[in-house]
Each structure stands twice: as structure tokens, then as C-alpha cells.
Structure 1
């Protein structure tokens, strides 16, 4: 099927009747086309599922996100209008998950129909690689769009739609491309699988199985349990330009704030003079790691001063 100069792969999975029972939208990400995600859809979909796998074009994924969002929105709107009674499921890999975040946020009227929303290796908190490519946010290709923090819209959706975020840990903090922390957000279920590099996630049986298991029983949004560490992490994540960082540099950081609870905030500058911040538990293990670019260093310092006055028991080394 061709529409507006891009290709949509339509499949009907194991049809035992002439009418599909549900819709499954699967979306590829950056530097990819729809083949692998269409195959993933066929592997995981229950019988009598209509699978929609738009091909947005390999080259177009390097440019801007908004035209891709509009393309998927157009396809989804047409498909849903043709099947107004069918429930829907969504699976997006990497940037494909971000595209669907934008689409769903624009269409809250669809949320009651969405049985599940699965993001695989999606940098919801923003891609650290893209933030480093475009540190001044001048709009360098797709980097500006992939470096954006979308936690607020992701949490709003996950509070109403059963949502699963799947990540993989290959090096103690990432899947080789996407930071573990960038895949986490409130109200979403979160699964971390070992040793699946980012590009292989579209083909891996463990990913398929995690999706099937999430679908096997009704799911509700995951309740957020308040805690001192969560409150501090949320304050840090709200700093303009804050991006999840790898934990490999945690040991280089020095304690800047100590809390009565035993939590510590630690700071480190990399050789490019980029500010990194880490939150450690009382046992000294890293709970959160992030960085801000040069233009947002002042905002980080201001937030640390606010945290110091509101939460800290004693202070070491704060300027």
C-alpha cells in the first residue's frame, strides 16, 4: 500500500475470520526501514491481528522528527477510522517509540482504545549522543529532536495507558547507544534485559518474549512510590537540558551534598568541562546519573542550591 509517497506494510496475522480483532502498529526508528519491525510484529501478534508497519524512509530519519510524526499520525488516523471498534496496540523501537509518544499525546481520545504501548530502547529522557552532537541546541539534523526530554508526555500517557519500556544493559549502563536511565519514566513498567545491543533488539527472542508476557495479562499503570531519592531525581530531571549519562564515570565524581538519609549528590566535569551529577544511595551505589550542556550549567547550580536548602542535612564542597 502506498500513501503520500511512503510505504505501509500491512499484514494479517493467522486470520481465522474475515474481520481482524485488533490493530498492531509497529514503528521503526532512526537509520532504519520497516522490514525488521514488520517481522517483529508478525512474531509477537496474536491471531486475527492487522499489523501496520509504516516505512518512513531511511534518509528521512536523519532530518527532522515532526514530518515523521505527521506521517504516522496520518496513517494511524486513517486506519483507526476504517476500524472504529477495534482495540489497538503499539510497539516502537528507539525513535519509533518517540514518534508514537508524540502521536498519542496529540490524540488522547485514542487512549481508551490502546491496550498496550511498548517502547523498545527508546530514549524518552533524551539521547546523550544527540545532546553531545548538538550541545548548543542549534538544530543539527535529527540530533535536536532525539536529544529532547519527553518524560512529561510519556508519564502522562503511561498514567492512562498500560505502558512497557524495554531496555538492555550491555556495558553497565546502556545498550551501547541508549542509556538505561533514558528509558525510565513514571507509571511505566520497565524491563532490563542483558546483553542485547541496540540494533539487535528488533530481532531478539528475549525482546519478543517480554512483549508477549506484557500482553498475557491485563496491566495497570505502575504506581509511583514517593521516596526522598525519587524526589531528588525528579528535581534533577527537571533541570533544563538534563540528559541521562552513563554510570561509568560515577567513581570520578566528588561528594557535593550529603543528606541525613545517607544519600549523596556527587559532581564531576569531563574533559570538555561538561557538568555531570550523580545521586548515590547510602551504600555508595549510583541511583541516577545525568549531565547538562554548557548553556544549562547555571540552571544545574541553581537547582543544587535549592536542593541544598530544602533537603540536605550537611554540605561538602558546594560553591
Structure 2
């Protein structure tokens, strides 16, 4: 990569990911995007059990530092599971970033609210991260995807979910949507079919060859 990247790819891991940022980083690098700086914030899996706000603040600080270091450089975002929820919150808070965002890719992210989180905290009492992941963010996400090209990739392992996140909760009106078959929630971070769909999506902008 040249000293000045042509694009910045933010790759964000999800909740209780024991590999931390490593697996999503491998996916980002495997895409082999020319002259791209990969930034993969590490949240540490224990912190992801509690509340979303401190995680948002951590990633926001990294993004702000990176954007100030490379002013005007377009950014791409790939986020999995809770990482996608985090990035939706960040983009909602920073509409001034939108013009720089080339694309947003969400992998198994419960934007409509996690059904498991609602079972853990059915009354919204604030039981750890469940309180935050149960929230339906569809409305704010539709505003984002109206301005930013967005790809949603989900998977159905036979019961309408990927083993963790329901397909229904990942759907965003206005976003391009792909539902794979038989890919587990954790494998959405590294599956070859996921990579092919991302390449196909990027190729539509005539900037990346699959």
C-alpha cells in the first residue's frame, strides 16, 4: 500500500468474539482491496457483555483520529453482528461522515433488535448488552441506507436464523439483501460465500475486480 491510502476499511467485530478483531481483519485483508488501509478496532470480548455506549465511544475515538489523519479519503465499513449495531449508532450520530462513506456492509447484524436479547431482558431492565441489542434501530438505519450504499448479508441455518440472529432482524428496507444458507453466525466473519457477495457488491461501483 502507498503511504497515502486510496480508501480506509473499518472492520468491526461483534459481541463475545474470542478472536477479537483478528477474524474480521483476516476477512478485510482477504478482500485484497488496492491501496486500502484496514482499521479493525479491538473491543475485548468481556467489555462486549455489558453496555454499548462505552464501545461506541472507543470506536468513535479511533475513527475520528483516522479520519483526521487522512482527510478526504473515502471509507468502507464492514461490521458483523453487534459491530453492525455499533456502526449504525455511530453513523446516526455523525451524518457529516456520510459523504465519505463508499459503502456499508453488515453481516448478521440484528438491526431490528435481537430476539435473544429480548428473551434475556424482556422488561428492558438493563441487563448488560441485552438492553442495547434488543432495540429496533430500523428507522435510523433506513435514513442511513438512503444515503450510503448498503449490503446486508444474513444466513438461514434452517429455522429462520443463523443460530444466533434471526434473518428477519437483519433486513433493512432500501439496502441490498443476501440470505445465505447454512452459514453459522460466527462463520459470517470468514466464509468464502460472504467474500464473494462483498466482491460482487463492490464491483458494482466499478472500482474492484472480483
Determine the C-alpha separation between the residues in 2 that align with 1:51 and 1:18: 13
Give CA deviations for 1:110-163 in whole Å, capped at 9, x if unaligned. 101101000000000000001011011100011001111000111010000001
Matches within 5 A, 1:16-95: 17-32=2-17, 33-95=20-82
Root mean square deviation of aligned Cα:
1.1
Three-state SS of the structure 2 residue aligned to 1:24 is: strand
Aligned with residue 161 of structure 2, among 168, 174, 188? 174
Q: Unpaired segments of 5 or more residues in structure 1?
A: 1-14, 220-319
Three-state SS of the structure 1 residue aligned to 2:158 is: coil
Structure 1 match to 2:139: 152
Structure 2 match to 1:127: 114
Structure 2 match to 1:164: 151
Determine the C-alpha separation between the residues in 2 that align with 1:200 and 1:86: 30
Give the drift of 1:18: 2.8
Q: Unpaired segments of 5 or more residues in structure 2?
A: none
Matches within 5 A, 1:201-240: 201-218=188-205
Verify the 8 A CA contact 1:26 1:54 in the aligned structure 2: yes
Determine the C-alpha separation between the residues in 1 that align with 2:140 and 2:152: 14
Give CA deviations for 1:247-278 in whole Å, capped at 9, x if unaligned. xxxxxxxxxxxxxxxxxxxxxxxxxxxxxxxx
Give the drift of 1:176: 1.1
Three-state SS of the structure 2 residue aligned to 1:26 is: strand
Structure 2 match to 1:226: none
Matches within 5 A, 1:90-109: 90-109=77-96
Larger relative contact order, structure 1 or 2 (CA cutoff 8 Å, min sep 6): 2
TM-score, normalised to structure 2, is 0.95
Determine the C-alpha separation between the residues in 2 that align with 1:185 and 1:18: 37
Give the drift of 1:47: 1.3
Verify the 8 A CA contact 1:92 1:100 in the aligned structure 2: yes
Give the drift of 1:186: 1.4
Instruction: Name segments (4+ residues, structure 1) moved above 6 Å.
Output: none
Structure 2 match to 1:254: none
Determine the C-alpha separation between the residues in 1 that align with 2:180 and 2:150: 17
Structure 2 match to 1:234: none
The count of residues paired between Structure 1 and Structure 2 equals 204
Structure 2 match to 1:195: 182
Determine the C-alpha separation between the residues in 2 that align with 1:103 and 1:161: 14
Give CA deviations for 1:215-255 in whole Å, capped at 9, x if unaligned. 11139xxxxxxxxxxxxxxxxxxxxxxxxxxxxxxxxxxxx
Verify the 8 A CA contact 1:24 1:45 in the aligned structure 2: no
